[in-house]
Structure 1
């Protein structure tokens, strides 16, 4: 499986445009001495996702203009193109309501779009774009108590062998535990991607750490914790990007407050 992370740009020819196509994103970059020019565009959301690695092109498509001119030090390390998880939590909406019997558990697998990043050699993010234009959503108990996040609908399979892998999306295993004596119904979950890391495996693509939701529908009590890594079924994994936000305690507390919207 071709990967789209940690692409070293040291081999770029001066004054030539290069292109990456990933998800719905067209990303263009050109090296000009110690500077890099970049721009981007998106295909329609109904089109099949793209997965073209970095390649040389003759020129920018007609009508496109340069959006960024990034100037690096003469002695700067070679920049990279890499991937990262979203910069906000995602409200994950299963395509069908999920119902879990009392005192039982279920594992669902959901996928969310990745962000393409142009980074300096020392890891500083200079430019980034989502591979799919995200839909913004407000998650909270009312219009003043809550948080702005992204929203996505997912098929959320519960069988590992049925999981579909896409080069522009990361998968997360969600363990849902019904701690109560009533049937638990879930039609959405708040997934705090900005406090999770991104991992890669050659056979199964991009994943995050697994996340466990322990919910008591009788009282509304909820706890959310992350595992140390993606599911064990994947075998060896390589971490591609650390979490954007290091303070997991407060962010998981926020996710608990927003979990049921």
Structure 2
């Protein structure tokens, strides 16, 4: 499997009749089997810290005692495809330690978030299941319990060097550029990533990236400006867009959903 280029695991793959396979994308295990007139599918999430790479193998038979969902056809499709897509909610990530940006400075953080996987058949096309590659907890993002939205919660190292990024096959990297054009020190303890509004890209080395997010913070929070770049940052060659944004929103609404937390963090961290 994946004989041509294992890194590009999102490309279509073929299973012969009666063949079974096991694919591991980080913490996510996927079992597939093609039989005459049907496909079988089973998924499982493992402890995320122990598994970061891609592993794939053909199996001599379907694993004993593993329950499967069966999808039946008059003429079963020949191929399957594991299509990565971004999360269906914003992801609020907490930094492991406070990060300070002095007045007049600009910095780009590279923040990873787990993707979901759409398990699809092809010829003809049919989506069997969409499953998260990592289980995230729920969190509420907003100034109070009446105003805000339900998000996913995660943690981040808030790295600002691409060379320091670990290789994690099940995560997509979002470049977040913050410009502190206010007159005060800015403290960032959380970032709210507008994940459903971003496109997803795959690079030739197998890494996953999203659109770049730009935030310009002013003294008056109402003047903060959010921009989503509809392309990969400079220096990324051979990027293929794998998925369009799940959601489209007016710029003002997206600004409020993303920048409020920066406002609170900046006020708390004023020195």
Same fold per superposition (TM over 0.5): yes
Q: Which moved more, 1:155-164 or 1:20-29?
A: 155-164
Q: Of 13, 18, 30, which aligns to 2:21?
A: 18
Contact 2:118 2:128 in 1 (8 A): yes
TM-score normalised per structure 1: 0.86
> Which residue number corresponds to residue 211 of structure 2?
209
TM-score normalised per structure 2: 0.83
Displacement of 1:73 in angstroms is: 6.8
Pair 73,61 (structure 1): closer, same or farther in 2 beyond 3 Å: closer
Which consecutive unaligned segments of at least 5 residues does structure 2 have?
Answer: 1-5, 265-271
Contact 2:39 2:76 in 1 (8 A): no
Tell me the alpha carbon deviations over residues 60-98 of structure 1, each in whole angstroms, 9 at most, x when there is no partner.
Answer: 4454311x3334574868442221111111112222212
Tell me the alpha carbon deviations over residues 32-73 of structure 1, each in whole angstroms, 9 at most, x when there is no partner.
Answer: 3343221111222342324113x221344454311x333457
CA–CA distance in structure 2, aligned partners of residues 224 and 60 of structure 1: 49
CA–CA distance in structure 2, aligned partners of residues 75 and 60 of structure 1: 18
Displacement of 1:107 in angstroms is: 0.6
> Which residue number corresponds to residue 45 of structure 1?
48
Q: Of 169, 172, 189, which aligns to 1:170?
A: 172
> Which residue number corresponds to residue 268 of structure 2?
none
Pair 168,182 (structure 1): closer, same or farther in 2 beyond 3 Å: same
Q: Secondary structure at the residue paired with 1:13?
A: coil
> Which residue number corresponds to residue 102 of structure 2?
101
Q: Which moved more, 1:138-147 or 1:20-29?
A: 138-147
> Which residue number corresponds to residue 2 of structure 1?
7
CA–CA distance in structure 1, aligned partners of residues 17 and 78 of structure 2: 16
Contact 2:194 2:258 in 1 (8 A): no
Displacement of 1:180 in angstroms is: 1.1
Q: Of 222, 225, 234, which aligns to 1:223?
A: 225
Displacement of 1:157 in angstroms is: 1.3
Q: Superposition pairs for residues 82-101 of structure 1, below 5 Å?
A: 82-101=83-102
> Which residue number corresponds to residue 131 of structure 1?
133
